[in-house]
Structure formats: C-alpha cells, structure tokens
Amino acid sequence: KAGVTQTPRYLIKTRGQQVTLSCSPISGHRSVSWYQQTPGQGLQFLFEYFSETQRNKGNFPGRFSGRQFSNSRSEMNVSTLELGDSALYLCASSFIRGGSSGANVLTFGAGSRLTVL
C-alpha cells in the first residue's frame, strides 16, 4: 500500500512569507504527527492530530499551526517565516494515537525541505 506522501518535497521562501505543507497518511491511519528536523536540534515534535483534533503540541511558537481534514490528510502552516525555520519537516502517520505505549508504529514520509532566505 502507498506510504506517507508529503508535498512539496522542496521549497524556497523568503523571510516574512508563509508556507503550507501537506501530508497524506497511509490509508486507514487516523493519526498524523509532524516533526521538524534540523542538524542542530534533531527531530523536534511539532504537533499531533487525530480525528481532526489537535491532541498534542510541542514547544513551538504560534506561527506554527496545523489542521487535519476528515479524510485524515493534514496540513501544517508556518507564518512570518524566519531564517531559523529552514528545516526538513517530517510527517508521520499511525493507526491510532502515535508514539505512545502499546501503540502503533510511526511511519514517516520523506519530508518537505524548506529553505528560508
């Protein structure tokens, strides 16, 4: 079956702009988590959506937001981009709540690489 699909794969923006990234989870998966990956900070949790509701949130400013649609597809948005937002943004899906005890494997997409100039 198809894996987690993220679009776009690469994009370049300038400071102050905003960006929207898209994630299509594995069919049947209802949970979508987003992570930011940078060389210095590793994989940092952004937020998790389950059944269209944000269930968990990491320590990121309000400029980072997301949503999930009824078909489980998810988008994340970053407004007023800063140079430090340059990163690989990874989406992961799981059948139920992701990452918790007794829970399901997180399956990651290939990521969207954002460069802010």
Partner 1 sequence: GENVEQHPSTLSVQEGDSAVIKCTYSDSASNYFPWYKQELGKGPQLIIDIRSNVGEKKDQRIAVTLNKTAKHFSLHITETQPEDSAVYFCAASGAQKLVFGQGTRLTINP
Name the one range near partner 1 by CB under 8 A: 11-19, 67-75, 77-85, 90-98: 90-98
Point out which span in 12-20, 60-68, 70-78, 94-102 binds partner 1 (CB under 8 A): 94-102
Restricted to residues 17-76, the positions that interact with partner 1 (CB under 8 A) are 33, 35, 42-43, 45, 48, 55-56, 58
Q: How far is CA 48 from CA 7, 60, 109, 116, in A?
A: 18, 13, 15, 24
Shortest CB 42 distance to partner 1, Å: 4
Residue 78 CB partners (closer than 8 Å, separation 6+): 18, 19, 63, 64, 65, 85, 114
Taking CB under 8 A as the rule, does residue 110 contact partner 1? yes
CB of 51 to partner 1, least distance (A): 14
Of residues 36, 76, 77, the one with CA closest to residue 59: 36
User: Coil, helix or strand for 85?
Assistant: helix
Closest C-alpha among 41, 43, 47, 40 to residue 61: 47
Q: Where on the chain is the footprint of partner 1 (CB under 8 A)?
A: 4, 33, 35, 42-43, 45, 48, 55-56, 58, 90, 92, 97-103, 105-111
